[in-house]
Amino acid sequence: MTESPREHVERTADQPTRESADQPTQESAGLPVATPAELRAAVRELLRPRRGLTLSAVAVLTAATAVGLLTQPLLGRAVDVVAEGRPAGDLTWLVVLLSAVAVVQGGALAYGLVLVSRLGETTLARLRERFVDRALRLPLDQLERAGSGDLTARVTGDVTLVAQAVRNALPELARSALAIVLTFGALALLDWRFLLAALVAVPLQVHTARWYLRHALPLYTRQRVAVAGVQQRLLETLGGARTVRAFRHHARHTARVEDSSLHARGLTLRGVRLVISFYTRLHIPEFLGLAAVLITGFVLVRDGSASIGTATAAALYFHSLFTPVNAALVLMDDAQSARAGLARIVGVAHHGLPEPVPVDPPTAPGDVTVAVTALDHAYEPGRPVLRDIDLALRPKERVALVGASGAGKSTLAKLIAGVHRPAAGRIRRAGAVGLVTQEVHVFAGPLADDLRLARPEATDAELRAALDLVGALGWAEALPTGLDTVVGAGGHPLTPAQAQQLALARLVLTDPPIVVLDEATAEAGSTGARSLERAADRALDGRTALVVAHRLTQAATADRIVVMSEGRVVETGTHDELRAARGRYAALWDAWSDHRTTR
């Protein structure tokens, strides 16, 4: 059964949206999109190792379609047997042939479809592996400029879009196109005048298809955005139900969902109307073509240049064209959006690998593990975030970075971790830097797999030891199936504090000599924060560490405290030294410990 109008619109809308995920401003800032020439080159490159497969897929599908086209002349021949009053026994072998055609066609089609899917799916798998590989190696600063929404949209939206096209549209389109071309050929074989009659429909069909594409793509884009908007608003509202109830905002939030749902309904119905009009407009060339073929049959039979059976076969051919023509025309918009998706995937996948931020060891590695000299940084020209920073971390020293919001602490931490390249100045590191921020992510899958991302060869005992060190072994073993419990999206939910403990356990497993902690303990409640701080303490043991902290107790226990203000380092020293100096740190400490006993 061919697709209903609504199924078409909804399937198109189900294709994950990207328009809503990334703003145009981010698009322009950000990730590359392949040009048509690059796209062609990439597709050629992907298909080259599978040239044999490509050829045999095309050949088998063509054969299947061609065999299938024997049906109509055989039926026509049956009509002729009757018309010419030949013995009914002649019918039997025709019917045997018809059955054979059906069986061969079915078998060849199945085999051809298997070949097409092997070709499409293998190519797609290679492409997506390459995409993920390149995506994971994109420099973070480029990613932050582009907004991670764009990359996420490409990996969820575009990959699925192309996969669906490969899985559904590609075989269907190939079959339909072959059926159309070969049917026209078969009509010509019956009599070239039947082909002429059938071609009457073509200009109208082309015109209708153009009209449809012109309207469909912009409308579906808007509709996809609207449907994604409903989804987003629902997630936000239903996820925040407790807050909505606490503030008695239920009427307001229900109205917000209602508005966006109505908006999406309106656009969906407009899309449905468009597809319906498209089908309805296709009825006109269908009728005109059928009438032309019948008239031709009438004329040819009357002047004796064709048999009634041939005229019947021609009419049946044309009638059997309706389905593939409609299918091919309506799949065009799928093909177009898949092409756009492919351009965005290829843009990342065939992008050259960036040169890694060089590990540039300090000149005197014995005394210093990280050396920052004359560092300046700005995200936008003219708005400096860091100015003239000099800082050296000694081996196994723990340095706390303190300052009010906006002082530049996080930027300095990111630069030292190698996330950004400094605008000016130099950072030397004696080894790999592990970075843990307050952004937590639990990777979907078994808990043990999550940890093994940090060290793939780790034994179970090592995993347990790492969890134990950060105080997470207790709850991890209490999970339904212990370390094999599936966590992350769709799995067993973890609290933010547990997720942060996992992050610290991964750090322990990675075992980097240098660690940067950026407010890694801020998201938990005040009691939770303290146990996380203790876990972080143990995880940092024996490493050179730079810790960005809000809670001054974390600073107070550090070997050295660096106070920042407006992008500069304004004070450096131990807790006691800085308190005695009565400067900014002392003021901060007083504000914080105003109500705490003196230490």
Contact of 539 with 391, CB cutoff 8 Å: no
Q: Which of 11, 145, 210, 273 binds other proteins (CB under 8 A)?
A: 273
Q: Which of 48, 51, 302, 383 binds other proteins (CB under 8 A)?
A: 302
The residue to which tokens 């997506």 are assigned: 128
Stretch that binds other proteins, among 27-35, 244-252, 393-401, 476-484 (CB under 8 A): 244-252
Q: Which of 42, 216, 539, 588 binds other proteins (CB under 8 A)?
A: 588
Residue whose C-alpha is closest to residue 505's, from 457, 448, 551, 557: 448
SS3 401: strand
* Residue 276 Cα distances to 8, 213, 264, 267, angstroms: 10, 14, 18, 14
Which C-beta is closer to other proteins: that of 428 or that of 506? 506
Q: Which of 40, 49, 107, 577 binds other proteins (CB under 8 A)?
A: 107
CB of 274 to other proteins, least distance (A): 11
Residue type at 160? T
Residue type at 455? R
Helices of type H across 303-386: 308-349
Which C-beta is closer to other proteins: that of 40 or that of 147? 147
Regarding 28 and contact with other proteins (CB under 8 A), the answer is no
Query: Rounded to whole angstroms, how far apart are CA atoms 17 and 222?
Result: 10
Residue type at 87? P
Residue whose C-alpha is closest to residue 508's, from 474, 550, 552, 545: 545
Query: Rounded to whole angstroms, how far apart are CA atoms 502 and 445?
Result: 14
Q: Which of 188, 200, 522, 570 binds other proteins (CB under 8 A)?
A: 522
Q: 433-437 and 514-518: which strand pairing?
A: parallel
SS3 128: helix
CB atoms within 10 A of CB 495: 13
Which C-beta is closer to other proteins: that of 35 or that of 92? 92
Residue type at 553? T
Regarding 359 and contact with other proteins (CB under 8 A), the answer is no
Regarding 180 and contact with other proteins (CB under 8 A), the answer is no
DSSP per residue, 222-285: HHHHHHHHHHHHHHHHHHTHHHHHHTT-HHHHHHHHHHHHHHHHHHHHHHHHHHHHHHHHHHHH
Regarding 238 and contact with other proteins (CB under 8 A), the answer is yes
- The footprint of other proteins on residues 71-90 (CB under 8 A) is 71, 75, 78-79, 81-83, 85, 87-88
Regarding 383 and contact with other proteins (CB under 8 A), the answer is no
Stretch that binds other proteins, among 185-193, 277-285, 335-343, 387-395 (CB under 8 A): 277-285
Regarding 357 and contact with other proteins (CB under 8 A), the answer is no
Which C-beta is closer to other proteins: that of 376 or that of 491? 491
Regarding 353 and contact with other proteins (CB under 8 A), the answer is no
Regarding 232 and contact with other proteins (CB under 8 A), the answer is yes
Which C-beta is closer to other proteins: that of 373 or that of 513? 513
CB of 36 to other proteins, least distance (A): 25
Stretch that binds other proteins, among 256-264, 327-335, 472-480, 556-564 (CB under 8 A): 256-264
Query: In three state form, how does the secondary structure of 169-189 look?
Result: HHHHHHHHHHHHHHHHHHHHH
Q: Which of 22, 286, 333, 334 binds other proteins (CB under 8 A)?
A: 286
Element (H, E) at 295: helix 250-302
Contact of 274 with 216, CB cutoff 8 Å: yes
Q: What is the CA radius of gyration of the chain?
A: 34
Q: Which of 315, 328, 393, 469 binds other proteins (CB under 8 A)?
A: 315
Which C-beta is closer to other proteins: that of 363 or that of 527? 527
Q: Which of 57, 272, 321, 547 binds other proteins (CB under 8 A)?
A: 272
Which C-beta is closer to other proteins: that of 232 or that of 373? 232
Query: Rounded to whole angstroms, how far apart are CA atoms 13 and 220?
Result: 7
Query: What is the distance in angstroms between the CA of the first residue and the CA of the last residue of the chain?
Result: 80
SS3 114: helix
- The footprint of other proteins on residues 119-158 (CB under 8 A) is 121-122, 125, 128-129, 131-133, 135-138, 140, 143, 148, 151-152, 155-156
CB of 220 to other proteins, least distance (A): 15
Over the window 485 to 514, marking each residue x when it contacts other proteins by CB under 8 A and - when it does not, the resulting string is ---xxx--x---------x--xx--x-x--
Which C-beta is closer to other proteins: that of 236 or that of 577? 236
Query: Rounded to whole angstroms, how far apart are CA atoms 517 and 533?
Result: 11
Regarding 44 and contact with other proteins (CB under 8 A), the answer is no
Residue whose C-alpha is closest to residue 522's, from 434, 382, 447, 410: 410
Regarding 53 and contact with other proteins (CB under 8 A), the answer is no
Q: Which of 44, 48, 51, 242 binds other proteins (CB under 8 A)?
A: 242
Q: 370-380 and 383-393: which strand pairing?
A: antiparallel
Which C-beta is closer to other proteins: that of 367 or that of 406? 406
Q: Which of 297, 341, 347, 446 binds other proteins (CB under 8 A)?
A: 297
Q: Which of 32, 240, 471, 482 binds other proteins (CB under 8 A)?
A: 240
- The footprint of other proteins on residues 527-566 (CB under 8 A) is 527-530, 550-553
Which C-beta is closer to other proteins: that of 202 or that of 316? 316
SS3 472: coil
Residue type at 79? V
- The footprint of other proteins on residues 402-441 (CB under 8 A) is 404-405, 417, 419, 432, 434-441
Stretch that binds other proteins, among 201-209, 285-293, 370-378, 459-467 (CB under 8 A): 285-293
Regarding 270 and contact with other proteins (CB under 8 A), the answer is no
CA diameter of the chain: 120
